[in-house]
C-alpha cells in the first residue's frame, strides 16, 4: 500500500522491480498511479520459518525503499499490525515519541489497540495460518485471492466488461464477487458452523451466474464460477439434490433421449403437461423450454453426400448444436468447406459436461470430459485442427479441463479452436460483409476464456460494422431457467443486451451462445444468429 510523490513513481517502480528480483519474487503492481499509490500481491510461504524470515526481510527492505523516495508506507489503508514496526523508517524518533505521549494521555492504561503505532509488535509476530485440511485447504488458497479491491462493483459494460452481472442487477454487496469471496473466506476460516452446507454460503452463491467474468476481469484472478461448482459438489455430495440439478444438470442426457422422438417431445413441451413438469423440475413457470430440432445435425451430416476432399478439420459437435440448432452446424460446414476444409465429426456424440459442472456434479463431469478428450486426442495426434461452435463448450475444453482432469487432457483441450480463430489463423479469404450492421453479444465464457478480439478482428476485416455489447445476457445456461432466478435474469438482460438491440432494430444480432439466443428470443423477440450463419449467408 505504498505511496510516493507521483513525479518519483517511475524511479520507485524500477527500484521496486529490482528489489523483487533480488528476493526471487514476482507480482503485478496496480493501484492509483496518478496519486503515486501502489498495491501488489506477493506469495510467501508463511507456514514455515524460512518463509517467515523471507517475508520479514523483504518488508523491511521495501519500507526502506519507500522512505528513500520520500513516500509513505501506507497510501490509503492504516498502518496497523501490518506496518507499525516499520514506521521508524518514515518518522523521526522525536515524532514517534510525540505520538506515544499523545496516546498515553488518552489511553494511559494502553487498552486501546495495544501494540499498534506506539510500542508496536514485530510485523511477523501475529501471522496466523488457516487451519483447514483436505478439500477445504485447497479451496482456501483460492478464495483468499480476493483482497477487496472492488472492481466487481464497477459497471464496465460500456467498454465490453461483464463482471459482475448479478451485482449490477441487484446492487447488493452480497451479490458481488467481493461479497461472495468474503463469505467463502469465512467458510474456510471455520466461522460458519455448518461448513459447506451453511445457509450463508448457499445464499451468497444463489445469484452467481457462473459467467466466469471475474476470472478474466478481477485483478486478483477470483474465479467464482469454479468456486461455486466446488461448493455445490461438497454441499450436495451423498444427498438428494435440488430438482433442477437433475433436470437441467442432466439436460444433455434427457435431450438425447427426447431427440429420438422430437415431435412427441415438442408436443409435450407445448401441452398442459409442461406446467406441472416445470414445477417438478425446479424450472420457473415463465420460462419456455427450447424445442428440439426435427433432424439432428449428426443425422443430417451422416446422410449428406460425401464431402469434398481438402485439408481435414474435426468439427466438435456439442449437444445444443446437434439437437437444438443444427442450422448452426450446417452453416459451419458450408463455411469450412468453402475455405477448403474436409469436415469430419467425431464418431460418437460429444458433450463438455458444463451442465454438470455448473450444478456441482463434478465427478460425472469428469467422466464425460475424459471420453470427449480421448476422442479429441486421436484427431489431434494426426495434426487435424479441432473447431467448436458453442462458446461455453469450447470454454470448458480450454479452461475447466485443467481444473478437472490431468495436464495431458488440459493440453488437448487447450488446442480446440473457435471458428474465428481457425479462419483468421490460416489466412482464409473472408466473405464480404460490407454494409452488414451487427449488434454483437459475446458469450460470457467466450469473453472470459478465449477472448472475443479474434472475432472482432475477423468481422472488421470482412467489412462489417460492429456494435459490441458488454454484460451478460442473463440466462447463463441453467441459471435463468431455475425457479427463483427469473426476475434477476430479466434485470440483467435489461442492463445492456435488450436496450442495445432495441436501439438498432435493423441490425443483425450476432450471438454465438445458445443461451444468449434463447434469452434474446424469449425476452427481446428477436432472433440472434451464430457467426457461422452470418458468414455462410454472404458471398466470398
In percent, the amount of the chain with pLDDT more than 90 equals 82
The length of the chain, given as a count of residues = 540
CA-closest candidate to residue 187, choices 176, 198, 175, 173: 198
pLDDT, position 81: 80
DSSP state at residue 283: B
User: Rounded CA gap, 335 and 387, in Å?
Assistant: 12
Going by C-beta distance under 8 Å and a sequence separation of 6 or more, which residues neighbour residue 154?
161
Bridge partners (DSSP) listed for residue 316: 388
pLDDT of 115 reads: 84
Place of cell 533480488: 22
Helix (H, G, I), strand (E, B) or coil at 506: coil
User: Cα separation of 260 and 237, whole Å?
Assistant: 32
Helix (H) or strand (E) holding 437: strand 437-440
> In what side-by-side order are the strands of the sheet with 2-3?
2-3, 37-39, 30-32
Q: What angle do CA 224, 406, 25 make, to 5 degrees?
A: 65
Q: How far is CA 508 from CA 38, 161, 439, in A?
A: 44, 21, 6
Question: Can you give the residue ranges of every domain in the chain?
Answer: 2-106, 134-236, 430-536
End-to-end CA gap in the chain: 56
Model confidence over 170-218: pLDDT tens digits?
A: 999 999 999 999 999 999 988 898 999 999 999 999 999 999 999 999 9
The mean per-residue pLDDT over the stretch 19-28 comes to: 92
Q: Where residue 49 falls among pLDDT bands split at 50, 70, 90?
A: confident
Q: Is the dihedral of CA 71, 72, 76, 82 positive or negative?
A: positive
Grid cell, residue 20, equals 523483487
The answer to whether 478 touches 248, Cβ cutoff 8 Å, is yes
Fold observed for domain 430-536: Rossmann fold (3.40.50)
As a whole number of angstroms, the distance between CA 400 and CA 229 comes to 11
What is the reported pLDDT for 131? 54
d(CA 5, CA 12): 9
Does 129 score more than 70 pLDDT? no
C-beta atoms surrounding 24 within 10 Å: 8
What share of the chain in percent tops pLDDT 70?
A: 99
CATH 3.30.70.2740 fits 2-106, yes or no: yes
Q: In this predicted model, what pLDDT tens digit does every residue of 480-513 receive, in sequence order?
A: 999 999 999 999 999 999 999 999 999 999 999 9
The rounded Cα 232 to chain-centroid distance in angstroms is 17
The pLDDT value given to residue 133: 54
* Helix/strand/coil percentages in the chain, nearest 5: 55, 5, 40
C-beta of residue 309 within 8 angstroms of C-beta of residue 509: no
- Between 1.10.1760, 1.10.1060, 3.40.50, 1.25.40, what CATH number should domain 134-236 receive? 1.10.1060
Look at residue 350 and tell me whether its pLDDT is greater than 90: yes
- Each residue's pLDDT tens digit, 262-307: 999 999 999 999 999 999 999 999 999 999 999 999 999 999 988 7
Amino acid at each position: 500500500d505504498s505511496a510516493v510523490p507521483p513525479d518519483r513513481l517511475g524511479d520507485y517502480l524500477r527500484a521496486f522491480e529490482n528489489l523483487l528480483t533480488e528476493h526471487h519474487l514476482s507480482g503485478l503492481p496496480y493501484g492509483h498511479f496518478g496519486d503515486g499509490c501502489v498495491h501488489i500481491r506477493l506469495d510467501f510461504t508463511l507456514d514455515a520459518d524460512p518463509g517467515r524470515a523471507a517475508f520479514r526481510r523483504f518488508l523491511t527492505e521495501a519500507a526502506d525503499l519507500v522512505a528513500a523516495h520520500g513516500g509513505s508506507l501506507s497510501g490509503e489503508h492504516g498502518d496497523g499490525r501490518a506496518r507499525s514496526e516499520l514506521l521508524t523508517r518514515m518518522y523521526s524518533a522525536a515524532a514517534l515519541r510525540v505520538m506515544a505521549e499523545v496516546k498515553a494521555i488518552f489511553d494511559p492504561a494502553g487498552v486501546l489497540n495495544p501494540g499498534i503505532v506506539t510500542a508496536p509488535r514485530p510485523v511477523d509476530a501475529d501471522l496466523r495460518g488457516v487451519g483447514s485440511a483436505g478439500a477445504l485447504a485447497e479451496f482456501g488458497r483460492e478464495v483468499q485471492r480476493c483482497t477487496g479491491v472492488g472492481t466487481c462493483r464497477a459497471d464496465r459494460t460500456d467498454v465490453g466488461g461483464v463482471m459482475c452481472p448479478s451485482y449490477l442487477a441487484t446492487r447488493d454487496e452480497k451479490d458481488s464477487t467481493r461479497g461472495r469471496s468474503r463469505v467463502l473466506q469465512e467458510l474456510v476460516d471455520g466461522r460458519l458452523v455448518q461448513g459447506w452446507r451453511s445457509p450463508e454460503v448457499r445464499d451468497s452463491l444463489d445469484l452467481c451466474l457462473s459467467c466466469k467474468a471475474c476470472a478474466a476481469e478481477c485483478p486478483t484472478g477470483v474465479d467464482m464460477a469454479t468456486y461455486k461448482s466446488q461448493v455445490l459438489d461438497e454441499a450436495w455430495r451423498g444427498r438428494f439434490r435440488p430438482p433442477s440439478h437433475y433436470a437441467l444438470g442432466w439436460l444433455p442426457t434427457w435431450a438425447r433421449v427426447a431427440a429420438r422422438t422430437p415431435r412427441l417431445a415438442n408436443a409435450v413441451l407445448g401441452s398442459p403437461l409442461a406446467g406441472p413438469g416445470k414445477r417438478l423440475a425446479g424450472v420457473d413457470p415463465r420460462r419456455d423450454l427450447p424445442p428440439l430440432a426435427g433432424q439432428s445435425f449428426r443425422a443430417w451430416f451422416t446422410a449428406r453426400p460425401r464431402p469434398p476432399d481438402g485439408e481435414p478439420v474435426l468439427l466438435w459437435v456439442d449437444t445444443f448444436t446437434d439437437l437444438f440448432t443444427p442450422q448452426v452446424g450446417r452453416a459451419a460446414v458450408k463455411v469450412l468447406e468453402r475455405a477448403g476444409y474436409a469436415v469430419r465429426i467425431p464418431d460418437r456424440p460429444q458433450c463438455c459436461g458444463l451442465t454438470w459442472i455448473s450444478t456441482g456434479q463434478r465427478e460425472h463431469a469428469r467422466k464425460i470430459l475424459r471420453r470427449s478428450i480421448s476422442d479429441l486426442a486421436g484427431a489431434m495426434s494426426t495434426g487435424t485442427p479441432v473447431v467448436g461452435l458453442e462458446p461455453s463448450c469450447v470454454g470448458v475444453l480450454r479452461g475447466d479441463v485443467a481444473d478437472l482432469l490431468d495436464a495431458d487432457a488440459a493440453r488437448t483441450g487447450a488446442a480446440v479452436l473457435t471458428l474465428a480463430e481457425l479462419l483468421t489463423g490460416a489466412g482464409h479469404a473472408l466473405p464480404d460483409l460490407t454494409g452488414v450492421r451487427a449488434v454483437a453479444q459475446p458469450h460470457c465464457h467466450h469473453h472470459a476464456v478465449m477472448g472475443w478480439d479474434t472475432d472482432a478482428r475477423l468481422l472488421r476485416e470482412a467489412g462489417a460494422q460492429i456494435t459490441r455489447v458488454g454484460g451478460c445476457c442473463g440466462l447463463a445456461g441453467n441459471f435463468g431457467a431455475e425457479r427463483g432466478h427469473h426476475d434477476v435474469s430479466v434485470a440483467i438482460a435489461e442492463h445492456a443486451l435488450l436496450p442495445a438491440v432495441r436501439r438498432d432494430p435493423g441490425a443483425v444480432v450476432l450471438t454465438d451462445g445458445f443461451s444468449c439466443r434463447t434469452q434474446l428470443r424469449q425476452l427481446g423477440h428477436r432472433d440472434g444468429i451464430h457467426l457461422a450463419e452470418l458468414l455462410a449467408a454472404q458471398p466470398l
